[in-house]
Structure 1
Amino acid sequence: MKSIPISLTCLLVLAGCQVVPDRLPQAEPAPAAACYFPTSDEQALETSVELLTEWGFSLDSTDTALGLVSASRERELHGYYDRYDNAYGYGSGMRLFGGLGIGSGGVGLGVGGVGFGGGVGQQPVEVERVSLLVNDAHIRISRDIRRFDQWGDLRESYSASNDDFCQRFQTDFAQAVPTNGSPL
């Protein structure tokens, strides 16, 4: 009988310990039904871009061959705080060159790329991203919101493809679509 190298045995044992997810990742909550609607506008992509820029979004990327538009807007969050920022008695102080650490071997100073006082005087921000797909005479809207604290760390992120936003988009889109083939 041949001997099996120990590294191969360990590899087989570890491979047996892998857990397979029970489902693929999905948007939580699922996009609202209003975020997928038909359109008869031949210039739906251009109309969508105009509408998003009117709402204060800036274009991140477009692919006219695919019918895809990605846009985002950012706003400062005055008075926003992370309720877990000081949950364990640390983290609310000023970051000095990446931080200070205390371990079993003594006290050490970590030097990072943040620099002295990184984040002081900066405001927390909310970044709203919208992606539109115009395909087969339908428009599909995907929207998410991310909130960053004054240090630039991500604190919240969620899918915001809700009825309110998508219905407002549908209404404004329908009003912007030229009637009888003539421009507005």
Structure 2
Amino acid sequence: MKSIPISLTCLLALAGCQVAPDRLPQAEPAPAASCYFPSTEEQALETSVAVLTEWGFTLDSTDTTLGLISASRERPLHGYYDPYDNAYGYGSGMRLFGGLGIGRGGSGIGFGVGGMGFGGGMGHQPVEVERVSLFVNDAHIRISRDIRRFDYAGDLRESYSASNDDFCRRFQATFEQSLPANGRPL
């Protein structure tokens, strides 16, 4: 009988410990009911684009045959507190890449400093990116919105679903006000 190496045995034991997720990913919190509303407007895509651009969004992509619109807007976060900034004991706003070393070799002493980044990132600002996707079908409009916050180094720090009742009701009210009697956006 052939012996099985210990590393293979450990690998097989660890492979048996892997657990599959018990549910598929989903938006949390769930989108508000007001994010799905009826619209019999023929020009719903054009009106939706007009509302989003009026609110300061930039169109990222559109597919008129599918009825999809994707838009986003970005704003700087002045004084944004990063809850993860001091998580590893480096201090507020300090990042250390590389290392610090002192060595002695032959007839001299060497001192080396690895790449270091301190402070708020010169010229960089924490930002919040708000993304909105709209799906317009024959008789309804569905809104999906999320917000992502990035720190001064461009690392994602917070991300959450923001398809809340307030935003969707404001969108629906503005959408309906933008529709004149003849069906064309103002």
2:165 to 148, 163, 166: 163
Please tell me whether residue 17 in structure 1 is matched to residue 17 in structure 2.
Answer: yes
2:172 matches 1:174 = no
Of the three residues 113, 125, 128, the one matched with 1:126 is 128
Runs (5+) with no aligned partner, structure 1: none
Match of 1:80 in 2: 80
Q: Structure 2 counterpart of 1:46, which letter?
A: E
Q: Pick from 97, 100, 108 the counterpart of residue 99 of structure 1.
A: 97
CA distance in 1, matches of 2:175, 2:153: 37
Cα separation, 1, equivalents of 2:58 and 2:2: 63
Q: How many residues align?
A: 176
For residues 3 and 52 of structure 2, the distance between their equivalents in structure 1, rounded to whole angstroms, comes to: 62
Gaps of 5+ in 2: 102-110
Query: What fraction of aligned residue pairs are identical, expressed as a percent?
Result: 78
Q: Which amino acid aligns with 1:121?
A: G
The alpha carbon displacement at 1:136 in A equals 2.9
- Counterpart in 2 of 1:34? 34
| Matched-pair contact (CA < 8 Å) for 2:36–2:141 | yes
Separation in structure 2 between the aligned mates of residue 110 and residue 56 of structure 1, nearest angstrom: 42
**Aligned 8 A contact 2:44 2:136 in 1:** yes
> For the structure 1 residues 23 and 92, does the alpha-carbon distance in structure 2 shift closer, same or farther, using more than 3 Å as the test?
same
Aligned residues of 1:125 and 1:148 also touching (Cα < 8 A): yes
Partner of 2:68: 68
Tell me the TM-score normalized by structure 1. Answer: 0.80
Map Cα deviations across residues 8-48 of structure 1 (whole Å, 9 max, x no partner). 97776554322111110010100000000010100101110
CA RMSD of aligned residues (A): 3.0
Q: Secondary structure at the match of 1:100?
A: coil
**Rounded Cα–Cα distance in structure 2 between residues aligned with 1:182 and 1:150:** 43
